[in-house]
Structure 1
Amino acid sequence: MNHLVISCIGPDQTGLVDTLSKIISKHQGNWQVSSLHHLSGFFAGVIEVAVASEKSENLISELKAISGLSCQIEMAEPNLPDVVSNLVLEITANDRPGIVQEVSSVIHHQSGNLLKLVSSTNSAAHSGQELFKAKVQIAIDDKSVDALINALENIADDLMVDISR
């Protein structure tokens, strides 16, 4: 069994997910994990598919031939141990250029491994100020959690961090 990580981007159009799922199903692939988004008029997605070794090449060829969609496909090692996230952070701050770099740098320098980052911006209810919001999953040694939270909160006075495990 092969595990394929498929990254796709192209102008959004009705039926792209249906097209992807039909091709994967046609080759008896098992759609396992995905993150699909509409971003500024584009479809962008990452999908993990498990497929029999003998069907991989045809599946890859057909995915790469989808008109208007650019797909990059990599073979993953399915026997790697699962990484367990032991910390989920919800971050809110006034939006500004470089905030993702600041947050990711602090996580890196505190020996955390950023596993997942989902972010958005929207207007604050009363002020209309643009707010940055992110939900971050991190693997980190329990002894380093307090230092990480401290370092994150020291990025700026307006940055708030909510923690769950």
Structure 2
Amino acid sequence: MRTKDETEAEVRVGTGAGSEDAPVRFDTKIAVLLRDDLEPWQRLNVTAFVVSGLGTASPEVVGGPYADADDTTYLPMFRQPVLVFQGTKETLTTAHARALSRSLATAVFTSDLFSTGNDRDNRAAVRAVGKDRLDLVGMAVYGPRNAVDKILKGARMHP
């Protein structure tokens, strides 16, 4: 398992400027923040849901399609690591307010969404509550590395 420092420092890929081993540095960050009292299945479900919106709002986060040696093609994925953090309900509420104040691309998942079963009802559940009263259990944010770091202040890396 990679440490936070190893993950955040550099990602080596075959698109470097002079060498296939040249490091690729990202000036942006994709981060997920989960409430620390979720069940394991809920953590996975929330993470999958909240990251799914980032590529639609910020297409530059998505890389090119994949292909294996047999030319079987696969869907594109994010071009950079997704860092997953956890925190208390209060940490999540504070991070949400910080993300909105910086106008960063943000996706949210509220506790109400565990009892809905489709996109229409999910959107209606979020729409029914003001931003300051959302019972957040997870969020994803994408933006400049320094801004995302400030938003996540007080959160810790997910184990």
Same fold by TM-score greater than 0.5: no
* TM-score normalized with structure 1 length: 0.26
Q: Which has the higher contact order (CA 8 A, sep 6+)?
A: 2
Which protein is richer in helix relative to its size? 2
Give the structure with higher Rg (CA).
1
